[in-house]
Structure 1
Amino acid sequence: MPVLKRRILRGVVWLRRHPGLVAAFGFVSGLLSFFLVERHEGVARLMAVAMLASWVLLVVERALSQAVSARFGFGLSPMLVRYLTQFTHQESLFFALPFFFASTSWNSGQALFTGLLGVMALVTIIDPLYFRRLAVRRWLFLSFHTLTLFALLLVALPLILHLPAMESYQLALGVAAVLSFPTLAGSISVPRWWRGVLVLVLLAALGAAGWLARLWVPPATLRLTQVALATEIDVEQRAPRQSLHSVDAGRLRSEGLYAYTAIHAPLGLRERVSHVWLHEGKEVDRIALDVSGGRAEGYRAWTHKRNFPDSPEGRWQVRVLTADDRMIGTLRFHVAPEAR
Structure 2
Amino acid sequence: MLLLKKQISAKNLLLQLAEQLQRYPGLMAVLAFASGIASYVLVDRKESLAQLIALFLLFSWLWLLLDNWLRERIEQRFGITLSPTLVRFVLQMVHQESLFFALPFFLAVTSWNHGQAVFTALIMLCALISLIDPLYYKKLAPRRTLFVVFHAFSLFVVLLVILPILLQLTTSESLATAMAIAVVLSFPSLGTLLPNGYWWRMPVTMLLLAALCAGLWQLRSYVPPAALRLTTVALSHEVDYQQRKPGPGIKQLDAATLHRQGLFSFTAVKAPRGLNEKIYHVWLQNGKVVDRILLDISGGREQGYRAWTHKQNFPANAEGHWQVKVVTESEQLIGLTRFTVTPAPNQ
Q: What's the TM-score once normalised by structure 1's chain length?
A: 0.95
1-side partners of 2:125 and 2:169: how far apart?
Answer: 28
- Give structure 1 stretches of 5+ with no counterpart: none
Aligned residues: 340
Which aligned pairs between 1:146-295 and structure 2 lie closer than 5 A?
146-289=152-295, 291=297, 295=301
1-side partners of 2:283 and 2:75: how far apart?
Answer: 62
1-side partners of 2:302 and 2:155: how far apart?
Answer: 27
State whether residues 279 and 314 of structure 1, in contact with CA within 8 Å, keep that contact through their aligned partners in structure 2: yes
Map of 2:150 onto structure 1: 144
CA separation of 1:126 and 1:227: change in aligned 2, threshold 3 A? same
State whether residues 259 and 302 of structure 1, in contact with CA within 8 Å, keep that contact through their aligned partners in structure 2: yes
State whether residues 264 and 294 of structure 1, in contact with CA within 8 Å, keep that contact through their aligned partners in structure 2: no
2-side partners of 1:293 and 1:42: how far apart?
Answer: 24
Deviation at 1:82, TM superposition (A): 1.4
2-side partners of 1:225 and 1:312: how far apart?
Answer: 28
CA separation of 1:314 and 1:197: change in aligned 2, threshold 3 A? closer
Which aligned pairs between 1:25-64 and structure 2 lie closer than 5 A?
25-64=31-70
1-side partners of 2:59 and 2:329: how far apart?
Answer: 29
Report the residue type matching 2:145 in the other structure: W
Show CA shifts across 1:72-114 (max 9, x none): 2233222221121111111110111111112212122211111
Matched, 1:74 2:84: no
2-side partners of 1:31 and 1:272: how far apart?
Answer: 27
State whether residues 103 and 222 of structure 1, in contact with CA within 8 Å, keep that contact through their aligned partners in structure 2: yes
Deviation at 1:129, TM superposition (A): 1.1
CA separation of 1:46 and 1:7: change in aligned 2, threshold 3 A? closer
* SS of alignment partner, residue 242 of structure 2: coil
CA separation of 1:150 and 1:52: change in aligned 2, threshold 3 A? same
Deviation at 1:58, TM superposition (A): 0.8
CA separation of 1:41 and 1:231: change in aligned 2, threshold 3 A? farther
CA separation of 1:293 and 1:251: change in aligned 2, threshold 3 A? closer
State whether residues 266 and 294 of structure 1, in contact with CA within 8 Å, keep that contact through their aligned partners in structure 2: no
Q: For 2:137, which of 120, 131, 138 is the aligned residue?
A: 131
Deviation at 1:254, TM superposition (A): 1.8
2-side partners of 1:293 and 1:208: how far apart?
Answer: 36
State whether residues 110 and 218 of structure 1, in contact with CA within 8 Å, keep that contact through their aligned partners in structure 2: yes
Report the residue type matching 1:335 in the other structure: V
Q: For 1:106, which of 83, 107, 112 is the aligned residue?
A: 112
Deviation at 1:293, TM superposition (A): 9.4
* SS of alignment partner, residue 285 of structure 1: strand
- Which deviates further from its counterpart, 13-22 or 188-197? 188-197
Map of 1:310 onto structure 2: 316
2-side partners of 1:201 and 1:156: how far apart?
Answer: 29
Report the residue type matching 2:217 in the other structure: W
Percentage of identical aligned residues: 50
State whether residues 105 and 226 of structure 2, in contact with CA within 8 Å, keep that contact through their aligned partners in structure 1: yes
Show CA shifts across 1:53-85 (max 9, x none): 110111111111111111122332222211211
Calculate the aligned-residue CA RMSD, in Å: 1.8
State whether residues 271 and 292 of structure 1, in contact with CA within 8 Å, keep that contact through their aligned partners in structure 2: no
2-side partners of 1:283 and 1:213: how far apart?
Answer: 18
Report the residue type matching 2:158 in the other structure: L
Deviation at 1:294, TM superposition (A): 6.9
Map of 1:328 onto structure 2: 334
1-side partners of 2:298 and 2:209: how far apart?
Answer: 35
State whether residues 270 and 293 of structure 1, in contact with CA within 8 Å, keep that contact through their aligned partners in structure 2: no
